[in-house]
């Protein structure tokens, strides 16, 4: 059969290295991602991730330390919203209720309510204690208080510094128009300047510890406070079906936030009560006016009756006069009720006319208790509900919206119906009043036919009785409306009063730390992704296999025991190290590939620094330690290094042998290993390529093969000069060294070119200086033992141990390690 390099191999011989199963030649990968490369970058970036997380935690701490906390106090209100107007508008319950709630929210967030809040709670001066970075508000615990009168509005909203000297004096500083002013004042003394009149007094919170402390106070303008309330207040529907809303306020002071929410709830309650009592107040005013006028008439009638009885000495009237009087009293009461009904109808008619002239103005319906037409009363109540609904809609809708136009049209239709009923009712009332007047005139004519004194007394009693009944009726009605006023309750309930917040809304410690930690981790992951995407060097065996058509002969781990300035022989000092075992594995693979005992091996790379000399020296050492006679030739005559590695002379060598100045035996130098000799490069010639092309080189190889089994040639980099290609043509096994995380992927194009163009079918590659972490799991006879104590690597492990994760992604499909 034929091995991977086109040479014949015996059927009972192990397969060539190129025939090793692909499972051992490639690393794990998922969806085009090279997990080995990713893990390598993760290993290098782990400390950066930890640093990012630590920096994120520090940033979170600084943010929490130097951010003013914002607290939120809130209350929950349940509103008693009428649904009848919603039904008249043709809205569903949820839609109508939601619209009404939105209207109530707009009332709570209106500027009118904010101005009333400022009348209830004193926010005119803000007191703060200065800190190195932040100032803390002293809402109710300020050690001083400022009484002032601003003369120049430019002094509003300007922070003023106040520093205690002692309990008698203080320093006040302020900056206006870029000019800083500083003066010493006395407590409890009034002062006046061109800007304001003021006096600063001490409070019960003053203590000697305040001396030397710096404070700030700001005189707030009304508009600033209104804007402050507008920014801090938030109200929204909590549950539309239950008609509940949430009213909250956010501020740096939790006590201030609670006080403001309580004041908002109180003012809203007062407004609700005032609106509900407005109609009762108007009715009571009318009744009191009528009672005063009727009381005067009653007094006059009573005095007139007493004077008549005294003058005429008459105390009784006949039965006829009593009957006429009684009948007349009943008719007068009916007429009075009709008159009251007429007055209320006129008020209603006037109100409807006012609605037409001022459609946006809020109106209050008059009392309708004397109107005995239930149809008219029901229509008036419907109109009242519709108008209230329309007023609420104006808070969050324009007049051009469809809902508003529907509402306006229904109001107009309802007003027409009411006006029609009013016209009919007025005609009916007028007719009834006319009939009563006619009947009263008849009774009066009948009464006049009685004897004159009896008639006069009866007439006096009749007017007295009428005035008395009127007065008693007014007292009764007044009592009814006062009872109704006293029983008025607001149309909302406070389900949850304003709370005193103890935990800030912003910033929340847990969320801040978690967010910053996530930012740190994402930054670390971003660094890994960027490194992964921008990584243009060969890192893992898989990358070498994917980008090169040459087989991988083996992997050499990084030598981390000591820092080497130049390449040295290390396998003789560390025979059980990982690097020694990896080179033994490569030695075994070479024997599989080239079973002949006599062989020439050339070692080259693309550029300097990839470790070809180090690999060649230690490969020679491993071969020599296996009882093979090895000689190393330094043919990198432009930049020789082999003599430095073994501390031998470079006065003679390959260059002098090729020009015939020295014999082979004269140039051979011994090393510390018994079976390893070297020939240095010799003096640097001006024409290395021409020397290599001379036939003397073949003669040198023939001479050396008589005494040595393996000739290892340290060739110059083929990416820089052509000398290496000339030497590779004479080698049985050209080895191309690629250094992990140093050699660029583009260098591998040169490997493919050597195979494709120059015909080096027997070319093999070595992945050099691979970190121990990255080599874990790779076989070829050495990867299965790392970390188990089989090898002795004295160099400390510098990377974080992630072997447990790498085992998962590089484990063989069968679950067992394989050896070549």
Question: pLDDT, tens digit, for every residue of 573-622?
Answer: 888 888 899 999 999 999 888 888 889 999 999 898 889 999 999 999 99
Cα distances (Å, whole numbers) of residue 281 to 277, 470, 637? 6, 20, 118
> Is pLDDT at 153 greater than 90 in this prediction?
no
Q: Who has greater pLDDT, 361 or 104?
A: 104
As a whole-number percent, the residues of the chain with pLDDT over 90 amount to 32
Residue matched to tokens 């080239």: 594
Summary mean pLDDT of the chain: 79
Helix 254-312 vs helix 222-232: crossing angle, to nearest 10:
110
Closest CA to 182 of 170, 190, 194, 166: 170
Assign 632 a pLDDT band (cuts: 50, 70, 90). very high
> Is pLDDT at 242 greater than 80 in this prediction?
yes
As a whole-number percent, the residues of the chain with pLDDT over 70 amount to 80
Average pLDDT over residues 692-709: 91
Residue matched to tokens 């940033």: 59
Assign 54 a pLDDT band (cuts: 50, 70, 90). very high
> What is the predicted pLDDT for the residue at 774?
44
> Is pLDDT at 553 greater than 60 in this prediction?
yes
CA angle at residue 250 from 247 to 252, to 5 degrees? 155
**CB 639 within 8 Å of CB 647:** no
Average pLDDT over residues 737-756: 88
Average pLDDT over residues 428-439: 86
pLDDT one-digit tens code per residue, 122-138: 999 999 998 888 889 99
> What is the predicted pLDDT for the residue at 94?
47
Average pLDDT over residues 517-525: 91
Pairing of strands 33-34, 29-30: antiparallel
> What is the predicted pLDDT for the residue at 127?
95
Q: Who has greater pLDDT, 777 or 299?
A: 299
The Cα–Cα gap between 282 and 485 comes to 11
The Cα–Cα gap between 361 and 358 comes to 6
End-to-end CA, the chain: 19
The Cα–Cα gap between 258 and 252 comes to 11
The Cα–Cα gap between 641 and 662 comes to 20
The Cα–Cα gap between 747 and 607 comes to 9
Residue matched to tokens 């509402």: 407
Torsion sign (Cα): 810, 813, 818, 820: negative
108-137 burial, b at 16+ Cβ within 10 Å, e below that, comes to: bbeeebbebbbeebebbebbbbbeeeebeb
Structure token pair of residue 246 = 């949430």
> What is the predicted pLDDT for the residue at 93?
46
Torsion sign (Cα): 771, 774, 780, 781: positive
Query: Which helix (DSSP H) or strand (DSSP E) does residue 99 occupy?
Result: helix 93-108
The Cα–Cα gap between 769 and 682 comes to 29
**Where do the DSSP E strands lie in 517-659?**
552-557, 599-605, 630-634
Closest CA to 701 of 811, 556, 599: 599
> What is the predicted pLDDT for the residue at 490?
58
CA angle at residue 539 from 644 to 786, to 5 degrees? 80
> Is pLDDT at 463 greater than 70 in this prediction?
yes
> Is pLDDT at 202 greater than 80 in this prediction?
yes
> Is pLDDT at 260 greater than 90 in this prediction?
yes
Cα distances (Å, whole numbers) of residue 225 to 123, 139, 218? 7, 15, 12
> Is pLDDT at 24 greater than 80 in this prediction?
no
Burial class (CB in 10 A: 0-12, 13-18, 19+), 526: exposed
Helical H segments across 397-451, by residue range:
402-448
Q: Who has greater pLDDT, 192 or 809?
A: 192
> Is pLDDT at 639 greater than 60 in this prediction?
yes
- State which of 171-185, 439-453, 462-476, 599-613 shows the largest mean pLDDT: 599-613
> Is pLDDT at 83 greater than 60 in this prediction?
no
**Where do the DSSP E strands lie in 469-621?**
492-496, 552-557, 599-605
> Is pLDDT at 722 greater than 80 in this prediction?
no
CA-atom Rg of the chain in angstroms: 55
Q: How many CB atoms lie within 10 A of CB 246?
A: 17
Structure token pair of residue 266 = 């109180």
> Is pLDDT at 779 greater than 80 in this prediction?
no
Q: Who has greater pLDDT, 361 or 280?
A: 280
> What is the predicted pLDDT for the residue at 329?
80
> Is pLDDT at 640 greater than 80 in this prediction?
yes
Structure token pair of residue 433 = 């009043």
Q: Who has greater pLDDT, 63 or 369?
A: 63
**CB 162 within 8 Å of CB 144:** yes
Average pLDDT over residues 626-645: 91
> What is the predicted pLDDT for the residue at 46?
87
Q: Which residues pair with residue 277 across a beta bridge?
A: none
Average pLDDT over residues 698-705: 92
In eight-state DSSP terms, residue 506 is B
In eight-state DSSP terms, residue 15 is P
> What is the predicted pLDDT for the residue at 57?
92
> Is pLDDT at 143 greater than 70 in this prediction?
yes
Question: In a 3-state reduction of DSSP, which class is residue 539?
Answer: coil
107-116, 349-358, 693-702, 722-731: which range is least confident on average? 349-358
The H helix count followed by the E strand count for the chain is: 23, 23
Question: In a 3-state reduction of DSSP, which class is residue 522?
Answer: helix
Structure token pair of residue 509 = 């410690």
The Cα–Cα gap between 550 and 766 comes to 10
Structure token pair of residue 467 = 């005035």
Residue matched to tokens 């590939």: 593
Residue matched to tokens 């979170």: 60
> What is the predicted pLDDT for the residue at 745?
84
pTM exceeds cut of 0.75: no
Q: Report the half-sphere exposure of 171 (CA within 13 A, side-chain side).
A: 11
CA angle at residue 585 from 581 to 587, to 5 degrees? 110
> What is the predicted pLDDT for the residue at 70?
93
Cα distances (Å, whole numbers) of residue 296 to 291, 299, 303, 337, 463? 9, 5, 11, 20, 12
CA angle at residue 288 from 282 to 294, to 5 degrees? 140
Average pLDDT over residues 67-81: 87
**CB 265 within 8 Å of CB 118:** no
12-21, 313-322, 470-479: which range is least confident on average? 12-21
The Cα–Cα gap between 91 and 646 comes to 100
Burial class (CB in 10 A: 0-12, 13-18, 19+), 23: exposed
């Amino acid at each position: 059969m034929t091995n991977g390099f086109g040479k014949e191999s015996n059927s009972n011989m192990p397969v060539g290295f190129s025939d090793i199963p692909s499972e051992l030649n490639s690393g794990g990968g998922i969806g085009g991602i090279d997990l080995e490369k990713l893990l390598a970058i993760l290993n290098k970036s782990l400390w950066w991730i930890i640093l990012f997380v630590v920096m994120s935690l520090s940033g979170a701490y600084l943010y929490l330390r130097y951010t003013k906390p914002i607290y939120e106090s809130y209350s929950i209100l349940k509103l008693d919203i009428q649904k009848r107007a919603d039904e008249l508008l043709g809205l569903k319950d949820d839609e109508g209720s939601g619209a009404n709630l939105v209207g109530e929210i707009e009332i709570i967030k209106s500027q009118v309510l904010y101005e009333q809040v400022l009348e209830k709670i004193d926010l005119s001066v803000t007191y703060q204690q200065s800190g190195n970075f932040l100032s803390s508000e002293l809402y109710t615990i300020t050690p001083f208080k400022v009484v002032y009168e601003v003369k120049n509005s430019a002094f509003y909203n300007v922070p003023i510094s106040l520093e205690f000297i002692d309990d008698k004096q203080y320093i006040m500083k302020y900056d206006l128009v870029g000019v800083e002013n500083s003066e010493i004042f006395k407590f409890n003394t009034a002062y006046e300047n061109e800007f304001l009149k003021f006096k600063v007094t001490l409070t019960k919170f003053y203590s000697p510890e305040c001396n030397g402390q710096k404070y700030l106070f700001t005189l707030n303008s009304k508009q600033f406070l209104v804007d402050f309330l507008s920014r801090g207040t938030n109200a929204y529907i909590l549950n539309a079906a239950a008609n509940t809303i949430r009213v909250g306020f956010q501020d740096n002071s939790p006590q201030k936030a609670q006080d403001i929410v309580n004041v908002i709830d109180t003012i809203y309650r007062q407004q609700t009560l005032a609106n509900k009592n407005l109609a009762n107040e108007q009715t009571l005013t009318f009744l009191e006016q009528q009672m005063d006028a009727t009381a005067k008439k009653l007094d006059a009638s009573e005095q007139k009756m007493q004077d008549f009885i005294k003058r005429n000495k008459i105390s009784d009237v006949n039965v006829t006069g009593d009957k006429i009087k009684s009948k007349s009293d009943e008719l007068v009461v009916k007429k009075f009720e009709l008159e009251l009904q007429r007055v209320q109808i006129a008020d209603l008619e006037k109100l409807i006319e006012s609605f037409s002239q001022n459609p946006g103005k809020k109106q209050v319906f008059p009392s309708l208790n004397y109107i005995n037409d239930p149809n008219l009363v029901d229509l008036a109540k419907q109109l009242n509900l519709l108008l209230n609904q329309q007023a609420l809609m104006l808070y969050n809708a324009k007049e051009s919206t469809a809902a508003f136009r529907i509402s306006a049209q229904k109001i107009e239709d309802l007003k027409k119906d009411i006006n029609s009923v009013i016209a009919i009712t007025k005609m009916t009332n007028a007719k009834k009043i006319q009939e009563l007047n006619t009947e009263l005139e008849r009774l009066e004519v009948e009464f006049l036919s009685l004897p004159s004194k009896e008639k006069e007394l009866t007439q006096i009693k009749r007017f007295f009785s009428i005035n008395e009944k009127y007065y008693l009726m007014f007292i009764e009605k007044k009592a009814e409306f006062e009872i109704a006023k006293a029983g008025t309750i607001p149309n909302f309930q406070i389900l949850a009063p304003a709370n005193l917040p103890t935990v800030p809304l912003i910033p929340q410690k847990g969320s801040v730390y978690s967010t910053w930690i996530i930012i740190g981790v994402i930054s670390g992951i971003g660094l890994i992704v960027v490194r992964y995407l921008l990584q243009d060097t060969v890192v893992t065996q898989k990358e070498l296999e994917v980008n090169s058509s040459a087989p991988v002969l083996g992997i050499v781990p990084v030598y981390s025991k000591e820092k080497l300035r130049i390449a040295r022989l290390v396998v003789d000092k560390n025979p059980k190290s990982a690097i020694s075992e990896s080179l033994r594995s490569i030695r075994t693979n070479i024997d599989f590939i080239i079973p002949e005992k006599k062989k020439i091996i050339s070692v080259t790379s693309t550029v300097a620094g990839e470790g070809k000399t180090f690999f060649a020296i230690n490969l020679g050492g491993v071969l020599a330690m296996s009882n093979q006679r090895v000689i190393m030739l330094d043919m990198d005559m432009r930049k020789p290094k082999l003599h430095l590695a073994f501390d031998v002379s470079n006065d003679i060598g390959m260059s002098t042998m090729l020009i015939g100045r020295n014999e082979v035996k004269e140039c051979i130098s011994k090393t510390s290993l018994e079976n390893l000799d070297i020939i240095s490069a010799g003096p640097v010639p001006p024409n290395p390529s021409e020397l290599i092309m001379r036939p003397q080189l073949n003669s040198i190889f023939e001479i050396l093969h008589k005494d040595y089994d393996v000739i290892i040639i340290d060739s110059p980099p083929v990416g820089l000069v052509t000398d290496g290609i000339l030497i590779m043509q004479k080698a049985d096994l050209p080895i191309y060294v690629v250094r992990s995380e140093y050699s660029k992927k583009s260098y591998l194009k040169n490997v493919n070119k050597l195979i494709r163009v120059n015909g080096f079918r027997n070319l093999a590659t070595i992945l050099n200086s691979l970190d121990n972490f990255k080599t874990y799991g790779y076989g070829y006879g050495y990867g299965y033992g790392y970390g188990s104590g089989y090898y002795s690597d004295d160099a400390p492990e510098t990377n974080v141990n992630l072997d447990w994760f790498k085992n998962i992604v590089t484990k063989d499909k069968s679950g067992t390690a394989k050896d070549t």
